[in-house]
Structure 1
Amino acid sequence: MSKRCFLIEASNQEATEGQIMTVVQSSASHPLYGDIVTIVGKNRVNDNPVIISAYSKDSCHLEAERPGIVVMPNSVEEVQKIVRLCSSTKTPIMPAGGRNGICGACLPRVTNAVMLDMINMNGIVNLDEDVMTITVEAGMRWAELIHRLDDKGYKLGFRGPYGGNAATVAGSVSINSMGYAASRFGPAPEGVVSLEVVLPNGEIVRTGSGWNPEAQIFTRYSSFADLTGIFLGDHGTLGVKTKVTFKIYPKAEFSTYIDLGYKNLKDATAAFLEIQKRGLTEELNCLLARESADTYFPGLLDSHPEINATIHCVIMETDKQLAERKVQIIRDIGLDLKGKDLGNFAAQIHWAEKFNEVQPMYNNGFWLNTCHLRPISRIPELMDRMRAIFKKYSLEKNGIKWIADALAVDRAYAAAWVTIFAPTKDKMELAEKAWNEMLDAAMETGGCPYWSGLLWEKRALEKVNDTFIQLYRTIKKSIDP
């Protein structure tokens, strides 16, 4: 007998109506305002400049075109109707989730676009214990999903980006997000089994085994080409994701942690790579400079003046002995490669404070990031270039702080973040000059952005092979003529 457990959201007034946008009255000036009102009602659509201003930014400092109107759909049927309306009138449409990214991916590039705020579509559709998957609506936030699964005795693989209190699942898989547990399970798209997508003509496609109406959604690869992969990382350009099905795993009851310190980045990188090759951790981070450790964990290195780079390991298992054995192996590797055991405080704090670590960083000032992927072995090369830029622009003398860290991913690469913080607006011009050179340095030393958006798209388009980008455009044109 099947042991499938279905979790359908309660049909109460709050779940039915969802969030609304009535704090200020709509201007009702957008050409599609009246048509959209007939689809969702007046409470979930607004084109007042105050509302539009609120939706014209994400968490980065970059600026794009403002949406012309914002609408909050509550169902896939409403999404279909809005998409068909936009298609028939040739009106640009932009889906958005939590809008807490730092790359400008969810911001329009053209005027008068319809922005779909997907956060009202935040229900759990189905927990299928037979095949270890969970299907959720696009606007589900990572933090809530983690807690809901934990109550049922399960965990996700990838647990969401570091802003997971606000970030939504569809937003993350659309921009190849990195974050918690990527060291073991890969980036956000790696955990996806199937998608439900509203295409530009308003039709619905269900990918993976979802193509068979008689089948459970249990595999991404089945009979045909991997259509799921076409929509992962598409930044919302190929359709509107309305449901995501993820792999789930038994809840890990046992955790162990270890922090390691190194006199130089070269030795730390060697240990970082060796630990990651063996797939020993749930999460593996390397702070690439003492300055980073002092920012994240003040006082951690006060009694270790010789340490200039640190590694922080989180191990999670269903078996206590296995968790303890893994930490022993990591300690042996770390010490053999010239490391020092620093205890486990920083790794524990990092994991316990998931989704709460990023926000305090904004207290340092305007955040200019260089988030990208690179082989672990090429991290020292990156930092040599970055330090030269810091020196060239005298960032420290100008009160511009910086952090540099890396999250191990898959077998032998990492998501690297070298971020500078302009403390005041009058320092932004100097900070931006340095930051633009930092972005160039990241790509010139073999880095590849995992997301695009305003942050990276210009540089990515300058580098990309013509055949590659023309294929992408051909796919786009065939789906959205």
Structure 2
Amino acid sequence: MINISSLESLIGELKDKLGQDYVATDKEICFAYSMDSSPVPGHIPDIVIRPKSTEEVSEVIKLANKYKTPVYPRGAAASLVMMGVPLAPGGISLDMTRMNKIIEIDEDSMCVTVQTGITWGELEYELKKKGWYTGFVGPGPGLSSTIGGAISVASVYYGSAKYGTACDILLGLEVVLPTGEIIKTGSAALDTSKKHTRYGLGLDSTGIFCGDQGIMGVKTEATLKLYPVPEATGFFVYGYEDEDKLLKAIHKMASLHVASDIDYSDNQSGFDMGGGEERYIVRGKVEAHSEKELEAQLELFDKIANEMGGVKTAPAQAKMYFEDMIYEIFPMAGMIGNYGASCNKMPIFESKKVHDLFLKYREKHKAEIEKYNLTTVWYTFISGSCIDILPQIQIPAHDPEALKYGTELWKNFIKEELKYGTVHYWLGKVIGDQVVEHYRPTYFNFIKKLKNLLDPNGILNPGLLKLP
């Protein structure tokens, strides 16, 4: 940790750069920045700052290098895996949520440039006034999440079946490197070009910062693709008893890249999410530019479901999942307690192995699950050509013994599922430490070299991915 004298000097210089109102050292404020939404607490920072511009972020990073003080960028704190929180006592919590401006809506180039502290909700509200949206419109926590946080973990969920991840709609970034230098990526890296494309100028430097967990730089601006808002929206729900037929149906649905959202849950995995009488429930959302097109698409999904033995039920639950719940963090979190979730991708048919593992794991620990009033949930959704698996262990938040046991149960399951080829993107400290154990040595050496080059003093998010 930084010594008292140096800390006081750092605080003074930060206040000179950002102003008194945006540099906090109060214990109560700093404590609030010691945690995200995960069941595992972080540490308390020495300083919380709220910059308003890329230039201010650059000044902060330069001072952090001067004083060899760690910096932990933070968005909406919706992470479930210890991200955006200090991983050791002290340091600077860099709250990006004051940087919430829309820089430019370029309708001719069909893209929008924003500061990365803006939420998906704020962006959607303004874009829809002009008849546009981003296709992928936010991760699981909904519209309260920030653009920067979603890019840092390559988030998926709302719109992912058709549009992919937050990084798939990304055209370029403005980034403050861990040395304080400012760079632009994508076509904006050219001094003659607009921000209309990601590729075509050599290295895809944008990709270095996609899913990087915030270790390679502080993203301050992002340019995203725009699509016309659909004129018609429809939903479907089908029930299945046979998992093999279910997966065949989902595979066919996903291969079309027509539905914006497709998910399924196992109502016998510990928590009945409803939607029908069958064990497995598939939900989906379809967008179209006319009622006639929408009708044809819904008929197509009915045909696929019917061919695979699906039972069509009322679509109301799909509307709730893919439209209503986006406006608030998943309501079950408040009802049940802390999430212990692992978000990972697999080929669709391969996911059955992890589902079987989850059911066996749940049965093995059934007595303790009941003792501590834990709730298990099997929930998945489609992201591009992959299935995204979210096996969950819900933990009563205010029971210390349950929290301790449930957290270890969650971590140990992640360790087991990694053996089956799960690919995690929401890493943070909790999952990242385990994923690193499966890195091929040459790949991990490459990451270390890149990190050392960009962050020679190791000031940005030290401790993530087992990096200094």
User: Scaled by the length of structure 2, what TM-score is found?
Assistant: 0.91
Aligned to 2:287: 316
In 1, Cα distance between the equivalents of 2:271 and 2:234?
Answer: 20
Residue in 1 aligned with 2:345? 373
2:210 is aligned with 1:232: yes
- The equivalent residue for 1:21 is none
Give the match for residue 449 of structure 1. Answer: 424
Match of 1:332 in 2: 303
1:74 CA displacement: 1.0
Letter in 2 for 1:308: R
SS at match of 1:102: coil
Q: What residue in structure 1 maps to residue 318 of structure 2?
A: 347
Q: Distance in 2 between matches of 1:268 and 1:129?
A: 41
Residue of structure 1 equivalent to 2:138: 160
Query: Of 358, 370, 377, which residue of structure 1 is paired with 2:330?
Result: 358
- Does the 8 Å contact 1:281/1:314 carry over to 2? yes
Native 8 Å contact 1:141 1:164 kept in 2: no
TM-score computed with the length of structure 1 as normaliser = 0.89
Aligned counterpart in structure 1 of residue 414 of structure 2, from 419, 434, 439: 439
2:115 partner letter = E
Equivalent in the alignment of 1:22: none
- Bigger Cα displacement from structure 2, 346-355 vs 46-55: 346-355
CA deviation after TM superposition for structure 1 residue 446, in Å: 1.6
Where in structure 2 are the equivalents of 1:242-391 lying within 5 Å?
242-290=220-268, 294-295=272-273, 297=274, 300-301=275-276, 304=277, 307-353=278-324, 354-356=326-328, 358-391=330-363
Q: CA deviation at 1:291?
A: 5.2
Matches within 5 A, 1:135-174: 135-174=113-152
CA contact (8 A) 1:182 1:410 kept: yes
Q: Which amino acid letter does the alignment assign opposite residue 236 of structure 1?
A: G
8 A Cα contact 1:370 1:438, kept in partner: no
Answer whether contact 1:314 1:347 (CA < 8 A) is retained.
yes
Aligned to 1:467: 442
CA distance in 1, matches of 2:351, 2:146: 30
TM-fit CA distance, 1:268: 1.4
In structure 2, the residue matched to 1:55 is 33
CA 1:340/1:189 → structure 2, altered by over 3 Å: closer, same or farther?
Answer: same
The CA deviation string for residues 236-273 of structure 1, in whole angstroms up to 9 with x for no partner, is: 11111110000010110111111010013222122111
Q: Which residue of 2 aligns with 1:203?
A: 181
How many pairs align? Answer: 447
Aligned counterparts of 1:377 and 1:471: Cα–Cα separation in 2: 32
CA contact (8 A) 1:30 1:68 kept: no
Q: Bigger relative contact order, structure 1 or 2, given CA contacts below 8 A and separation 6+?
A: 2
Q: Deviation of residue 88 (structure 1)?
A: 2.1
Deviates more, 1:102-111 or 1:120-129: 102-111
SS at match of 1:145: helix
2-side partners of 1:396 and 1:461: how far apart? 29
Partner amino acid, structure 2, of 1:48: D
Does the aligned pair in 2 maintain the 1:389–1:434 contact within 8 Å? Answer: no
- Aligned AA (1:363): M
Which residues of structure 1 form unaligned runs of 5+? 1-27
- CA RMSD between the two structures: 1.8
Identical-residue share of aligned pairs (%): 26
Contact 1:382 1:441 in 2 (8 A): no
- More off after superposition, 321-330 vs 397-406: 397-406
* Structure 2 counterparts to residues 69-84 of structure 1, below 5 A: 69-84=47-62
Q: How far is the alpha carbon of 1:281 from its aligned partner? A: 0.3
CA contact (8 A) 1:155 1:252 kept: no
Letter in 2 for 1:180: Y
For 1:174, give the aligned amino acid: S
Instruction: Give the Cα separation in 2 of the matches to 1:143 and 1:164.
Output: 8
- 1:284/1:314 contact within 8 Å kept: yes
- Aligned residue for 2:380? 406
**Larger deviation: 389-398 or 335-344?**
389-398
Residue 133 to residue 309, structure 1, CA distance change in 2 (3 Å): same
- Asked if the contact 2:263/2:379 (under 8 Å) is kept, the reply is yes
- 2:85 maps to a residue whose letter is L
State the Cα distance separating 1:427 from its structure 2 match.
2.2
